[in-house]
Amino acid sequence: MHPIIKMVFQRLALGLLLLFGASALIFGLTEALPGDAAQAVLGQSATPEALANLREEMGLNRPALTRYFEWLGGIVQGDLGQSLTNKLDIAESVGSRLSNTLFLAFWAAIVSVPLAIFLGLLAVRYRNRWPDKLISAVTLTTISIPEFLIGYVLVYFVAVKLGMFSPLAMINDSMSLGQKLNSIALPVIVLTMVVLAHMMRMTRAAILNVMQSAYVETAELKGLSNFQVIYRHALPNAVAPIVNVVMLNLAYLVVGVVVVEVVFVYPGMGQYLVDHVTKRDVPVVLACGVIFAAIYIGLNMIADIVAILANPRLRHPK
C-alpha cells in the first residue's frame, strides 16, 4: 500500500478514537453536574417520591456506564434522543439548525479564507512597509473588539442608518439564495472580521519563514517578480501551517458563533444550545456537544491530511 494512504487511514482512525474520547468526556462532565434530568423535569414540584418514580421510569438508576453505551449506540444509529423540555426528537430539531449554522459558516469561510490569504501575500510582498502595517493594524483592531459590539455597531450604522441589509438574520426554506445571502450579510461580515487577523498573520509568518530559504533566492535570481516568487515558490511550501490555522478558524465559525447568532437572532446551533442550556435540557446539550466535537475533530483531521498531502516527500517517495 502507498505509505500516504496508510498515513491517511491512521489519521482517520485516530480521529475516530479522539471522537470516542470526547463523547465520554462530554457524558462524564454532564454526569458530574449536580442534579439530573429527573430533577430538571420536575423542577420546583420535585418531591422525593416523584423523583424516585421518574428516575425509575427514565432508567436513571442504572449504572452510568450502561447509560453511556446506550446513548452512544443511539448516536451511531442517528438517534440523538429526546428533548426533555418539549419531548421532540433532537435529531430532527438539530437538523435544520445545523444546516443553518453550516450555511452561515460556509459563506463566512468563502469570504474570509481567500481574503486572509490574499492579505497575507500582500503583507509579505510589502513587508515592513505601509501596506503591511496597515493590514496588520486593521485586522488586529477588528479581532480585538468583541464581536457583539461590532455586530451592534454594524446593525446600527449599516442596517438602520444606511438601510442596507437586514438587521435580523432570519432565514427560512421559502427564501431564495439571494434573499438568504442578503439576510446573512451582516453576520458574515462580523465573522470575517473576527477570523481574518489570525489566518492572515499565520499566512504572513509562514511565508516569511519560507522566504529565507535558498530556493526563494534561486527564484529571485531567475528574474521573477516579487509576487511570482511569493505565489509560485513560497506559498506551496507554506501550505501546511496555513491550512492548520484555516481549519481552526473554520471550526470556530461553526462552534464559536453563539454570540453572533444571538446578536442577529439567527436560527442556528448556537441559539439552540443556549436556549437548552438555560433550561437544563441535558440530552440536547449532550447532542450539541458531540456534534461540535465531531466538527472540530473532523476539520482538524482534514488539516492534518492536507498537510500530509502537501508534502512532496510523502506524496512521491523515493
Partner 1 sequence: MSEPLLKVRDLKIGATVYPPGEKPHDIEIVHGVSFDLAPGKVLGLIGESGAGKSTIGLASMAYGRGGVKITGGEVWVNGRDILKTSHSDIRKLRGGEVTYVSQSAAASFNPAKKIMDQVVEAAVEQKKFSRKEAEARARELFAKLGLPDPDNIGNRYPHQVSGGQLQRCMTALALCPEPDLVVFDEPTTALDVTTQIDVLMAIKEAIADTGVAALYITHDLAVVAQVSDDIMVLRMGNTVEYGNTDQIINNPQEDYTQALVSVRSIEHEEKQPTPEPVLSVKGITARYKGVNFDVLHNVNVDLHPGQTLAVVGESGSGKSTLARVITGLLPPRDGEITFAGRKLSADLKGRTREDLRELQMIYQMADVAMNPRQTVGTIIGRPLEFYFNMRGSEKRKRIIELLDEIELGEKFIDRYPAELSGGQKQRVCIARSLAAKPKMIICDEVTSALDPLVADGILKLLLELQKIEDVAYLFITHDLATVRAISDSIAVMYQGRVVRYGPKSQVLSPPFDDYTDLLLSSVPEMHLGWLEEVVAHRKMESAGN
Q: Which three cell numbers stand for residue 220?
A: 529571485
Q: Is 316 in the site for partner 1 (CB under 8 A)?
A: yes
Shortest Å distance, C-beta 303 to partner 1? 18
Q: Is 10 in the site for partner 1 (CB under 8 A)?
A: no
Q: What is the sign of the dihedral through the CA atoms of 255, 256, 258 and 261?
A: negative
- Interface characters, 237-276, with partner 1 (x: CB under 8 A): x---------------------------------------
DSSP string, 52-73: HHHHHHHTTTS-HHHHHHHHHH
> Could you give the CA distance from residue 18 to residue 47 in angstroms, rounded to a whole number?
40
Shortest Å distance, C-beta 224 to partner 1? 6
At 244, which helix (H) or strand (E)?
Answer: helix 239-255
**Which among 7-15, 157-165, 212-220, 263-271 is the span making contact with partner 1, rule CB under 8 A?**
212-220
C-beta separation of 17 from 30 below 8 A? no
Q: Is 233 in the site for partner 1 (CB under 8 A)?
A: yes
Bridge partners of 89, per DSSP, are 82
Q: Is 236 in the site for partner 1 (CB under 8 A)?
A: yes
Long-range contacts of 214-220, Cβ-Cβ distance < 8 Å, separation of 24 or more: none
> Could you give the CA distance from residue 1 to residue 132 in angstroms, rounded to a whole number?
46
Q: Is 128 in the site for partner 1 (CB under 8 A)?
A: no
Q: Which three cell numbers stand for residue 52?
A: 424516585
Q: Is 312 in the site for partner 1 (CB under 8 A)?
A: yes
> Could you give the CA distance from residue 220 to residue 211 in angstroms, rounded to a whole number?
10
Shortest Å distance, C-beta 172 to partner 1? 46
C-beta separation of 305 from 8 below 8 A? yes
Q: Is 214 in the site for partner 1 (CB under 8 A)?
A: yes
Q: Which three cell numbers stand for residue 87?
A: 419531548
| Nearest C-alpha neighbor of 268 from the set 97, 116, 128 | 97
Shortest Å distance, C-beta 249 to partner 1? 24
Nearer to partner 1, 162 or 221 (CB): 221
Nearer to partner 1, 126 or 148 (CB): 126
Q: Is 215 in the site for partner 1 (CB under 8 A)?
A: yes
- Interface characters, 160-179, with partner 1 (x: CB under 8 A): --------------------
**Which among 9-17, 49-57, 208-216, 300-308 is the span making contact with partner 1, rule CB under 8 A?**
208-216
* Interface pick for partner 1 out of 31, 57, 70, 217 (rule CB under 8 A): 217
C-beta separation of 248 from 47 below 8 A? no
Q: Is 218 in the site for partner 1 (CB under 8 A)?
A: yes
Shortest Å distance, C-beta 233 to partner 1? 5
**Which among 63-71, 149-157, 221-229, 296-304 is the span making contact with partner 1, rule CB under 8 A?**
221-229
**Which among 7-15, 119-127, 276-284, 307-315 is the span making contact with partner 1, rule CB under 8 A?**
307-315
> Could you give the CA distance from residue 84 to residue 196 in angstroms, rounded to a whole number?
39
Q: Rg of the chain's alpha carbons, rounded to an integer?
A: 24
Residue with cell 534561486: 218
> Could you give the CA distance from residue 2 to residue 4 in angstroms, rounded to a whole number?
5
Residues near partner 1 (CB under 8 A) are 213-215, 217-225, 228, 233, 236-237, 310, 312-313, 316, 318
